[in-house]
Amino acid sequence: MTIRPCDPAREETYVSLYRNARRFMAENGNTEQWRDKDFAREVAEDLASGVLYEGRNDAGELLGVFAFLPGPDPTYAEIEGSWADDSPYRVLHRVASSFIEPGFISGVTAWAARICPHLRIDTHRDNLPMQRALAAAGFSPRGIIHLSNGEPRIAFERTDKQP
């Protein structure tokens, strides 16, 4: 998989991919996560901030998109549980797959870990496909964090110092 910054000329493609991912989540029992997201606004903001990345296969097909941000993330400051490591970390947010090929999150994680070996991510309790993908990619559940609107999320962490 090749990962590179997203192309602003493909903004509508990314918005559509997020909408399809939202539909997939709803069809698979996760009816709440991203329910009220304004994907057009978030994609535009992530593109403007230079934090939105895409993954493509060898045929050039879009496998998915994600935001990759430096920490600290304010929503991770308090956790019902504990982090394994307090070293500097990077955060994966808004991960969405096109479902063309399996293993998107594993490919993203491998790429991100080369940049920073300490990674954090969170997901909704009903997002079982993402929880399985995170476990397969080496993330461990660490507890519950709360978004700025108060909604709870399961927080995951991957670090080479993790037991």
Q: What CATH number has the domain bearing residue 68? A: 3.40.630.30
Asked, for residue 103, whether it belongs to a domain, the answer is yes
Structural domain containing residue 15: 2-158
User: For residue 30, what pLDDT is reported?
Assistant: 85
- pTM (predicted TM-score): 0.93
pLDDT given for residue 161 in this prediction: 60
Residue with tokens 């060898």: 58
* Residue 108 forms part of a structural domain: yes
pLDDT digits (tens, 9 = 90+) for 87-117: 999 999 999 999 999 999 999 999 999 999 9
Model confidence pLDDT, tens digit, residues 19-47: 999 999 999 898 888 888 899 999 999 99
* C-alpha distances out from residue 157 to 28, 46, 119, 139, Å: 24, 22, 6, 5
Residue 162 has pLDDT above 60, yes or no: no
Evaluate whether residue 163 is within a structural domain. Answer: no
Q: Count up the domains in the chain and report the number.
A: 1
